Amino acid sequence: MDISILGPLAKESDFVTLEKCSDGRFSNGKNGVISILATGDRKVEFIFFKDHVLSYVRSSMGYPAYYQIDPVKIAKPTKAVLMDLDGTSVRSESFWIWIIQLSTASLLDNPKFELEEADLPFVSGHSVSEHLGHCVKKYCPDKTVEEARKFYFQHTHFQMNEIMQGRGKANAFTPSPGLKEFLYELKAKGIKIGLVTSGLYEKAWPEILSAFKTLNMGDPKEFYDAIITAGFPMRKGEVGTLGELSPKPHPWLYSEVSRVGLGISTEQRHHVIGIEDSGAGVCSIRLAGFATIGFGGGNIKESGTLGLCNHYCDTFEEILKLI
């Protein structure tokens, strides 16, 4: 079995070996299946056959999906760089994890509630509903994700308003070190830049504005060649958009920002590089068929997704050398 199709850093020992896929559809050694491996957080499973590999993205919301895995490589010249927001462009993961904690505390009616270290891979990098689903299942199974979402948006609306008014949690959104220089260097090289986030628009846009204001970089809508978010939440009395069931680790955000937002054909996908600091984001880029550069500071190693990266860097300076 050639595991290198997952990535040049992939080692079988870095993944979890399974006897069968979690939905029971495929079993090791049966119907052409050579092996079944899963990421460390078990969010994505890989089913190896003789001539192809399938990936299975699990869903706590009840809507999993299968995708084919295609080989990836970094081809020069680089035509586009796709960048994650939380943790990669802006350091804000701790803030959103705090919001998840506040929401769970409200569900439990326990203001002293705190998340555990073991929760971190499951409350960052995925969709809001995935994060809340984990907490509901673990801490308050008598409640529902829908109840949790109500508290989540209450806390989000209040905290975001406080921040936009110059109050709120200190240092909630801080541009990653070297971000400004990195973005300007990409522009100078004529490389298209796409910003990609699983965050809903109402939480993501203030982050982007805050970062650009701090860096004195003007209007992010004018700077980026394409920006995509998970859209708008579905709530009574409002019109929502697709985004809660199809975000990272599914490939669609990265696929759409590249093909639709930047106009890059699938035949040119090897000239596209994605940068992510989370395990879910790494999976999303990889399933979209792009080479992935893992960015330090997130949960890539903890989530067991390092093997899906083409490279792993701690600074933007290191990434520029690869580009």
> Which is more confident, 188 or 211?
188
Average pLDDT score, the chain: 93
Quick one: which of 174, 242, 165 has its CA closest to 208?
174
Interacting residues of 162 by C-beta distance below 8 A, sequence separation 6+? 168, 169
Q: What is the pTM of this model?
A: 0.85
Rounded mean pLDDT, 133-155: 94
Q: pLDDT at position 172, please?
A: 82
Rounded mean pLDDT, 7-24: 94
Q: pLDDT at position 39, please?
A: 96
Q: pLDDT at position 173, please?
A: 86
Q: pLDDT at position 146, please?
A: 92
Report the alpha-carbon distance of residue 216 to residue 213 in Å, rounded. Answer: 5
Q: Is the model's pLDDT at 168 over the cut of 80? A: no
Rounded mean pLDDT, 93-110: 94
- Using pLDDT thresholds of 50, 70 and 90, give the confidence band for residue 120: confident
In this structure, of 180-184, 185-189, 242-246, 283-287, the range with the lowest mean pLDDT score is 242-246
Burial (CB count <10 Å: 0-12, 13-18, 19+), residue 108:
middle
